[in-house]
Amino acid sequence: MQPVELDAVEAARLPDESLLVQIAQRNTHALAALYDRHAQTVYNLIVRIVRDQASADELLQDTFWQVWQKAGDYQMGNAVAWLYRIARNKSLDWLRRQKSRPQPLMSLDESLAETSHPPSSSSVEQTVTQSWQQERIQQALAGLPLEQRQCLELAFFEGMSQRQIADFTQTPLGTVKTRIHMALEKLERTLVAVGFVARENER
């Protein structure tokens, strides 16, 4: 007996794991629902690795094409982490084909610049203050090891859980937790030293 074909509305209500089961049964509505739900985040992750938007577009399509082909290989677990691993592997394969080493992830300050809104006031004083703050943040971030910055960016800008970061970077969960903790501590010490934030006992 053939499985009942879900429509787009029904597919959109399913959790990710159920969508993969439906995709394995060649349900195009399920693939579309999964794409609509995660394409932007997957694209952001790919761009952070390959640093090339045109190639990232192609790799995004390749990622979901592999999901369509390999959904039957999925074993129950974290569906999003499985999807991220496909995207990561596609991206690293692309880098190897380009005979290039992985580039550093988009910096935290670059991400802030992309997502921030223009100030409501155009006063010179506010502009100067914001520029000074951005410079101090850039300097503080520059002092972090790449691995620590990567974990922070994935957590704060992509909204990934520590478990998802561990799966995506293929790093033990305990290591991810340590990197985030150490990065936040170092950032606070650096920003306190330059007067950007007050010490805890001064707040």
* 1 occurs within a structural domain: no
Indicate whether 80 and 159 sit together in one domain: no
What does the H/E/C string look like for 5-44? CCCHHHHHCCCHHHHHHHHHCCCHHHHHHHHHHHHHHHHH
Domain membership of residue 93 (yes or no) is yes
In the numeric block, which tokens belong to residue 17? 């794991």
Given 31, 62, 97, the domain boundary residue is 97
CATH assignment at residue 176: 1.10.10.10
**Which one-letter DSSP state was computed for residue 185?**
H
pLDDT tens readout for residues 117-130: 444 444 555 555 55
113 and 198 share one domain = yes
User: Does some domain include residue 2?
Assistant: no
Q: Is 64 part of any domain? A: yes
Are 135 and 64 members of one domain?
Answer: no
Q: What is the CATH number of the domain that holds 17?
A: 1.10.1740.10
Residue 88 and residue 21 share a domain: yes
Query: 124 and 186 share a domain?
Result: yes
> 172 in a domain, yes or no?
yes
How high is the pLDDT of residue 125? 55
Q: Are residues 41 and 119 in the same domain?
A: no
Domain count, the chain: 2
**Average pLDDT over the chain, rounded to an integer:** 75
Q: Is 81 a residue whose pLDDT tops 70?
A: yes
H-type alpha helices, 116-172: 124-142, 146-156, 162-169
In a domain, 28, yes or no: yes
- Are residues 18 and 29 in contact, defined by beta-carbon separation less than 8 angstroms? no
Instruction: Provide the domain limits for residue 146.
Output: 108-202
Q: Which of 64-73, 74-83, 129-138, 151-160 has the lowest mean pLDDT?
A: 129-138
Instruction: Measure the CA–CA gap between 154 and 151, rounded to whole angstroms.
Output: 5
Residue finishing a domain among 44, 77, 97: 97
Quick: pLDDT tens for 129-153: 555 666 766 677 777 888 887 787 7
Domain closes at, from 67, 97, 127: 97
Q: List the one residue out of 59, 158, 177 whose CA is nearest residue 105.
A: 158
